[in-house]
Structure 1
Amino acid sequence: MVEMARLSSWAEQLVRIGFERLAQGAPTVLSSSLLAGELAFRAPEDWQSVPEPSWEQLAPRAAELLTRGPLLLVPTWERRPDSERRRAASPPDYYVEVMAACRPPSPDAVMAVLLPAHPWVSDQPWAAEMRTKIAEHWDILLLAYGTGMLTQISANAESAVVFLRARAQTSPVLKLFQVPRPRPDETAVVKDFERLLHRQGGRGEYGYVLREIPGPQQSLYFDRFDPHILQRREDLAGFGAVNDLGDLFTFRRSSFNDAALKRGKQLTSPKAPGAVRMIRPRDIARDGTITPPSEETLWATIPADQQLTAGDLVLRRMNAPITVPPHGFFTAEVGEADLPAAASDQVVILRPIKPLSRPQARLISMFLRTPLALTLAGPRLAITSMEALSALPVPQPDEALTKALDELTAAKQQFKRWEQEADSVIESVFLEKTAAQARARVIDSGRALRLRAEAALLLDDLGHSVRTRFPYPIAYRWRETEARISAGDTQAAYAAILDTAEELLCYIAQLVLALTHARKITLGSVTAIRDKLAGGRSGPGFGDWANVLNEAASSKQLNNLPQAHPLNDIRTLLAHQDAEKARQALSERRNNQAHLRRVDPIDLPHAIDVAFADLTRLVERARFLADLPLLEITDVRWDAFARSARVEYRELAGDHPVVPTRTMTSPSNDLETGSLYLRDTDGALHLLRPFLIGRDCPTCRTWSTFHADRVPKTAVVFKSLEHGHTLEDTSPDTRRLLGQIGLV
């Protein structure tokens, strides 16, 4: 008895909606036996069904039925016998010839075809030729992919329904849809499909519209033109640069399979002279390592020129289709400890054309193990093809990322050394002659290790990080806040929390003003600050600094900054909802304090807890400040022949202004002695004067940072971020300078 396959419930819904929207009517169903008479297609009961036993008659029969209205064609999926394919040099499937022979009988003819996904996603010549012949007579309106479209067919088999309309002079947009797996609620899939059919551009949840129609030679796998995937591909350049894998590596496949090694009597024991370990797919772990040898490991005698070398990447060949890859390629880098070794025929060898740096090799290996790499390599058919690998874009680290990866590697190695040292101390407990000697050794030798661990744990403490690594004005304010809270003086503690919040925003806003001015960008929020400076009574405050940061976060003028520019980090501060909510709450508290709506003493302890929690959220989001040190340049000596400057500076990090003087070189000859600079993650220096200046405070005699607070007619009044003391500058040059930057 012939079994019957039919559309699954969700697939039938999509096909019905497709015909209603694209053909305005129910179709006739023309079908042939799906699998050599063993499996036939059963159409929905309310659609006319026309069986056609002969696959050769499907194309003319389709043309005849299309004169009556829309058609759903379900050709046989049966494959040609190998002998027939070799004799006639024919394509592998009968439906290829059927599709190539189909012709629209009229300009308004609409036909949908149910096929395996393979001919639409494959780059093989027969598939490209089939698409080319279809394109001569038909426009593709819609292509929908999904697994489990047909009952009685493997749930893992991916099928495709393509809607075709007679070719017109103006090509329509192409709509691609992919039913995800595992499938979400069918209702959600159907609704998104309906929305896609009404779209003329853009992307929905499960589909998108392609306005620029690719040529028929290009496969139409869903991810290839997916805007989300294309955006992620472009984003790879954010790591530094992008190269095709084929520009960096040559690709090799060995001929050593288990059977061939056995026939050639090359298998040997691991202890035999010249024994070489065979790296097979199972030996390449998902975490990017080559597993240690085991009892199942094969050893063989392999010529030296066919062995692996340190720096090679080995990659599992994959032959099974993967609809939704849960991971990328199984890839590992060959190290000296893995040698001597050779790869089996199921492993692809990637050998660097030129030696790669450790960060380069590491980043490429990490990227290849991601699902994105597999997606970019090909049409979700995880068959390792040399062409697909060669064209695969891979990121290359820039200088900053290279440095970060090197530092992480060095830290990892240091942690391993400390672990080994700790193991050595622990294992020595019973190696001493007496228990007293063992006890003393463990205590003395372990002291440094314990101190290292305690110091490392402090780095996870936000307060410690702020007090030791944040710029001096913020670290000073934070230390005072913690001291006030611990002392139990609730009024002073509450005031310190609000002061710290305002000065944090003030400091970061001054950075924004300095950095945008350097790029000749004027923010609208500067107008309000200029008006308050000119008022002469009270300068800018909490709200003004918040306005600067909010404008910077949303300004389109700042969307195309260099990757390492400090504004990229600064703009994220209030972009986070939790930080902005905390800022608003602290601003309201500050405003209430200023207008004598003070918190009742009974409620102060709770108010302190809530306010300090909000301040902590703000500071947590401002952790980028630890990577943007505040520098005071103390001396600059320019070498005209070397074209570089020897710069002496103080890095004002931590809660005390007394810090050692350090030395660096700079390619710039316009650095100002006595001025403050911000150093970004690329090492570039950004002048902060006159938005922030460093001076000895005339009130407390302590070195402090100041910003313009008021500009009355006779002087410019600067205010300290650390303690609020003021500094008057009566020089006309200072007033003129503030005019040049738009603050006067």
Structure 2
Amino acid sequence: MGESVAATVQLSAWTERLIGIGFERLAHGTPTVLSSSPFAASGLDFSAPGSWQSVREPSWEQLAARAAEMLAEGPLLLVPTWDRRGNADRRRAASPDLYAEVMTSCRPPTSDAVMAVLLPAQAWVSDQPWAAEMRTKVAEHWDTLLLIYEAGALTQISRNVESAAVFLRARAQTKPVLKLFQVPRPRLDETAVVKDFERLLARQGGRGEHGYVLREIPSPEQGLHFDRFDPRILQRREDLAGFGAIDALGDLFTFHLAPLNESALKKSSQRMPSKDPAGVRMIRPQDIGRDGTIAPPSEETLWAAIPTEQQLAVGDLVIRRMIAPATVPPHGFFTAEIGEDDLPAAASEQVVVLRPIKPLSRPQAQLITMFLRTPLALTLAGPRLATTTMQALSTLPVPQPDAALTKALDELTAAKQQFKRWEQQADSVIESVFLEKTATQARARVIDSGRALRLRAEAASLLDDLGHSVRTRFPYPIAYRWRETEARISAGDDLAAYAAILDTAEQLLCYVAQLILALSHAQSVTLGAVTAIRDKLASGRSGPGFGDWVNVLNEAATSKQLNHLPPAHPLNDIRTLLAHPDAEKARQALSERRNDQAHLRRVDPIDLPHAIGVAFADVTHLVERARFLADLPLLEITDVRWDAFARSARVEYRELAGDHPVVPTRTMTSLSNDLEKGSLYLRDTEGALHLLRPFLIGRDCPTCRTWSTFHADRVPKGAVVFKSLEHGHTCDDTSTDTRSLLGQIGLV
């Protein structure tokens, strides 16, 4: 071909290599190239790679017939014109693009014919009727083997235009798998991408880095855009249900576009000056920030007389219709929620307005708005088009918060508002410095008025201190042990400090294991680790210890029977204590230290300071991973009064949080009529109470006369020996009912 490169469209070297590999693997040969002349309305022709035989067909109407002739001799790369019909022809034709007619006319001349077609990606990803009809007719004669999507595959064409190289083979009785590959953008290591592509061609299932295999082929009516069936994206879509539920955006909102054109409005009598109190602000795409805010009015803001029914309302979501090109860093829809301060306002024609069908709770609206601004939302909306379509938004799945997440978001919002009020109070105090008559009065005012604010700040900063959180918010058995450890370390008694650290680690695992045993038993799930614990209890000598509690945690973490619990069930958090590799590493180190201590392999006094530092770091890591315990308070029910008419109970309880058992009695209402006075309960994040008896019981210790928590330690003949988590003291229970109860839960 004699044309200069500037006058022709060519494959990039990258694309040429991938298509060439595709033909080698799928057709075992080099293709002949058949292209249209001209390729595009600008008069550009397609120029095939120099090493490939090329034929140019002047008439696009003859491409299908010519392709059949050439396919009879070997594999073919068909490059039909990307030109579009004129307006007059477009009204009479089913498709606006000429290549659609070429594709529907192509027929395989032999049963082993293989053809690749280079098309705009829109032909294969669009759900428009013309594209679906084209793919349906193609599927009557061809099986689709491979799709290669790439932006910037052709020279002289915008790098934002995505193309699709579609490999087709004459239709067979047995459907082949379909392979999809998306060339990464920006360009990565070419060698690695090519190797990944070659591995994809050899696959019969699964996913690589940039491509995947579809065993179940979608119907031709469905557009095959890469993300639509990507296993990773589908998994993330399903994972949205973890927030609570999934709804289509169209089930929650109605969609509106402004009936007035911004350009026309500038020239109409409706335009008003910004100072006119009757003027309504027009919100344009550039006014919607990436962070979800509406920009304040500027000199360029358009004000107009807009009817009330066309104005925005509080709670409306506004979205930019224009979508940023793929070259920018990943981002979702530019979305903002309209508040009181933004009104009165109306949207321009390039802004989509979403109005809630029913009033949304604050957490609902907050979660939806945040989700729409994520790259995942844009991905799930369908093919990457230049503008947002109503259809894409209507079917977009959005997460809905469950009760626990709603409560958490409400509390965060309340905390944010409280912080703002404190900030305003601080500003007020600071600004009042020079408002008093004398400097002495001003000084006294700042010191006195700011005292409460300073104390709040100091209290808030303590929450970042793990030790303070454990001592004040963790369940009493753990908080007590932690306080004991910190006291021993600060006192400089190395032997006592080292022992206290190991005791804290064991009792943390013991407490969590008892929670697991109680909660799993309530779910009618019996863990295998119970057998080993039962044997040790029955021995009457030494009760269960460090290794037994670890076995309970590890078995619970991998139990399939516990994999389908409700999202808010406390076991979901409790099972994760040792899930992180660093936590398991710390646990293993502490376990070895505990074994060494028990078997007289004690640390040399010279090495004790270093051992204390390392062991305390390990137990700190475990406690850090157990922060969920602060959200699962330990309660002792002190009184229950059931009202048969109200069908509810007035419950008095003590929340055993912090490092001291003397805590105030509180009151709550419960709809349950089976709560036990004197028993311990775990309260989850939704407020439900879970009975812990007889795995954990609370009573005054007969040795130290302090209220303590106990677990079964030994079951010799004639008694049950309970052991305190706080200080290791024991108490005997000779009641036959207690022994019988332990038998019911499998511990005897």
Alignment pair present for 1:158 and 2:159:
no
User: CA offset at residue 319 of structure 1?
Assistant: 5.7
CA, structure 1 residues 461+382, in 2 after alignment: closer, same or farther (shift >3 Å)?
Answer: farther
User: CA offset at residue 47 of structure 1?
Assistant: 2.7
Residue 431 (structure 1) aligned to one of 430, 435, 440 = 435
Alignment pair present for 1:23 and 2:16:
no
User: CA offset at residue 7 of structure 1?
Assistant: 2.7
Partners of 2:720 and 2:328 lie apart in 1 by: 65
Q: How does 1:308-323 map to 2 (within 5 A)?
A: 308-318=312-322, 322=326
The farther-off stretch of 623-632 and 144-153 is 144-153
Q: How does 1:357-376 map to 2 (within 5 A)?
A: 357-376=361-380
Residue 175 (structure 2) aligned to one of 171, 174, 192 = 171
Alignment pair present for 1:545 and 2:553:
no
Which digits, 9 at most, give the CA deviation of each residue in 1:185-233, with x for residues without a partner? 1222122222222222222211111122111111110111111111221
Alignment pair present for 1:662 and 2:666:
yes
User: CA offset at residue 722 of structure 1?
Assistant: 0.3
In the alignment, what sits opposite 1:255? 259
Partners of 2:328 and 2:226 lie apart in 1 by: 12
In the alignment, what sits opposite 1:397? 401
User: CA offset at residue 737 of structure 1?
Assistant: 1.3
Alignment pair present for 1:187 and 2:191:
yes
User: CA offset at residue 446 of structure 1?
Assistant: 0.5
Give ranges in structure 2 of 5+ residues lacking alignment: none
Alignment pair present for 1:562 and 2:554:
no
Q: How does 1:585-596 map to 2 (within 5 A)?
A: 585-596=589-600
In the alignment, what sits opposite 2:44? 39
CA, structure 1 residues 417+655, in 2 after alignment: closer, same or farther (shift >3 Å)?
Answer: same
User: CA offset at residue 477 of structure 1?
Assistant: 0.2
Checking the alignment, whether the CA contact within 8 Å between 1:471 and 1:625 is kept in structure 2 is yes
The farther-off stretch of 535-544 and 477-486 is 535-544
Partner AA of 1:55 in structure 2:
W
Alignment pair present for 1:410 and 2:447:
no
Residue 627 (structure 1) aligned to one of 624, 631, 637 = 631
Which digits, 9 at most, give the CA deviation of each residue in 1:355-388, with x for residues without a partner? 2221111111111111111111121225211111
User: CA offset at residue 183 of structure 1?
Assistant: 2.8
Partner AA of 2:713 in structure 1:
D
Question: Could you tell me the TM-score, scaled by structure 2's length?
Answer: 0.97
In the alignment, what sits opposite 1:82? 87
Partners of 2:275 and 2:535 lie apart in 1 by: 85
User: CA offset at residue 321 of structure 1?
Assistant: 5.1
In the alignment, what sits opposite 1:508? 512
Partners of 1:137 and 1:177 lie apart in 2 by: 23
Alignment pair present for 1:55 and 2:54:
no
User: CA offset at residue 422 of structure 1?
Assistant: 0.4
User: CA offset at residue 323 of structure 1?
Assistant: 6.9
The farther-off stretch of 360-369 and 618-627 is 360-369
Partners of 2:41 and 2:57 lie apart in 1 by: 13
In the alignment, what sits opposite 2:353? 349
Which digits, 9 at most, give the CA deviation of each residue in 1:121-161, with x for residues without a partner? 11222111111111111111111111122233322221111
CA, structure 1 residues 224+129, in 2 after alignment: closer, same or farther (shift >3 Å)?
Answer: same
Partner AA of 2:739 in structure 1:
R
Residue 73 (structure 2) aligned to one of 64, 68, 72 = 68
In the alignment, what sits opposite 1:12? 16
Residue 114 (structure 2) aligned to one of 110, 113, 123 = 110
Partner AA of 2:380 in structure 1:
L
Partner AA of 1:19 in structure 2:
F
Partner AA of 2:74 in structure 1:
G
User: CA offset at residue 90 of structure 1?
Assistant: 5.3
Partners of 2:251 and 2:41 lie apart in 1 by: 46
Q: Secondary structure at the match of 1:395?
A: strand
User: CA offset at residue 690 of structure 1?
Assistant: 0.8
User: CA offset at residue 325 of structure 1?
Assistant: 6.8
Checking the alignment, whether the CA contact within 8 Å between 2:186 and 2:327 is kept in structure 1 is no
User: CA offset at residue 487 of structure 1?
Assistant: 0.6
Partners of 1:382 and 1:723 lie apart in 2 by: 68
Alignment pair present for 1:217 and 2:221:
yes
Partner AA of 2:102 in structure 1:
V
Partner AA of 2:391 in structure 1:
E
Checking the alignment, whether the CA contact within 8 Å between 1:317 and 1:383 is kept in structure 2 is yes
Partners of 1:345 and 1:408 lie apart in 2 by: 35
Give ranges in structure 1 of 5+ residues lacking alignment: none
In the alignment, what sits opposite 2:651? 647
Partner AA of 1:189 in structure 2:
V
Q: Secondary structure at the match of 1:587?
A: helix
Partner AA of 1:663 in structure 2:
T
User: CA offset at residue 437 of structure 1?
Assistant: 0.6
Alignment pair present for 1:280 and 2:284:
yes
In the alignment, what sits opposite 1:236? 240
Q: How does 1:606-621 map to 2 (within 5 A)?
A: 606-621=610-625
Partners of 2:135 and 2:77 lie apart in 1 by: 18
In the alignment, what sits opposite 1:198? 202
Alignment pair present for 1:582 and 2:583:
no
Residue 692 (structure 1) aligned to one of 678, 682, 696 = 696
Partner AA of 1:723 in structure 2:
H
The number of equivalent residue pairs is 743
Which digits, 9 at most, give the CA deviation of each residue in 1:24-50, with x for residues without a partner? 222222122422574333333433222
Partner AA of 1:450 in structure 2:
R
Q: Secondary structure at the match of 1:440?
A: helix
User: CA offset at residue 730 of structure 1?
Assistant: 1.3
Q: Secondary structure at the match of 1:68?
A: coil
Q: How does 1:675-686 map to 2 (within 5 A)?
A: 675-686=679-690
Partners of 1:99 and 1:326 lie apart in 2 by: 34
CA, structure 1 residues 323+245, in 2 after alignment: closer, same or farther (shift >3 Å)?
Answer: farther
Checking the alignment, whether the CA contact within 8 Å between 1:324 and 1:380 is kept in structure 2 is no
Partner AA of 2:34 in structure 1:
L
Partners of 2:182 and 2:413 lie apart in 1 by: 41
Checking the alignment, whether the CA contact within 8 Å between 1:5 and 1:150 is kept in structure 2 is yes
Checking the alignment, whether the CA contact within 8 Å between 1:251 and 1:348 is kept in structure 2 is yes
> % of aligned pairs identical?
82
Q: Secondary structure at the match of 2:145?
A: strand
Partners of 1:642 and 1:180 lie apart in 2 by: 64
User: CA offset at residue 427 of structure 1?
Assistant: 0.6
User: CA offset at residue 539 of structure 1?
Assistant: 1.0
The farther-off stretch of 15-24 and 320-329 is 320-329
In the alignment, what sits opposite 1:599? 603
Alignment pair present for 1:730 and 2:734:
yes
Checking the alignment, whether the CA contact within 8 Å between 2:479 and 2:658 is kept in structure 1 is yes
User: CA offset at residue 610 of structure 1?
Assistant: 0.6
Which digits, 9 at most, give the CA deviation of each residue in 1:455-480, with x for residues without a partner? 00000000000000000000000000
Which digits, 9 at most, give the CA deviation of each residue in 1:288-329, with x for residues without a partner? 121111222111111112111111111111166547771111
In the alignment, what sits opposite 1:491? 495
Partners of 1:637 and 1:320 lie apart in 2 by: 62
Partners of 1:36 and 1:153 lie apart in 2 by: 12
Partners of 2:548 and 2:277 lie apart in 1 by: 78
Question: Could you tell me the TM-score, scaled by structure 1's length?
Answer: 0.97
Partners of 1:592 and 1:396 lie apart in 2 by: 51
Which digits, 9 at most, give the CA deviation of each residue in 1:694-719, with x for residues without a partner? 11101000000011111112211111
Alignment pair present for 1:387 and 2:416:
no
User: CA offset at residue 554 of structure 1?
Assistant: 1.5
Partner AA of 1:41 in structure 2:
F
Checking the alignment, whether the CA contact within 8 Å between 2:266 and 2:302 is kept in structure 1 is no
User: CA offset at residue 84 of structure 1?
Assistant: 3.6
Alignment pair present for 1:708 and 2:712:
yes
